[in-house]
Structure 1
């Protein structure tokens, strides 16, 4: 993947099957498609950065430095959420 350009912030986009989904097999089929090369190509065309290694992003926006979120970060989520809301003046 040679489209790392700069540092940046990222969000997580996920698909899931809910515990009591009325049609869990349909949800699993969608999840498999979403993770497939075809599904990731559709996501890429929609402006998302694909996770599939064979799919190039439409826009070359993947950051050069990735800062993974670890267990210790998650333990301090409330602190960071409060700071985020203060900085951006959110309720």
Structure 2
């Protein structure tokens, strides 16, 4: 929730902030993990403003992840990208 909230509060022109319902791996990790991505191509990956926003989101997680509050939710259904759950996350839920 901290990363999502930070990125929503610090928008980067040309980028949307949303959650993915699934990720393609690695899938055999024994420790909980979070993927924060910048687009899907070299143009996006080279965007310094987007890189700074993601770095800020990671810092927000490391500094305050236990301080996040929200109604805990578990979502079922929908596609790979989950706009309904992303909207709920922005409205105070935590998935």
Q: RCO greater where, 1 or 2, for CA within 8 Å and sep 6 or more?
A: 2
From the two aligned structures, give the one with the greater strand fraction.
Answer: 2
Q: Same fold (TM over 0.5)?
A: no
Query: TM-score range, shorter-chain basis?
Result: under 0.3
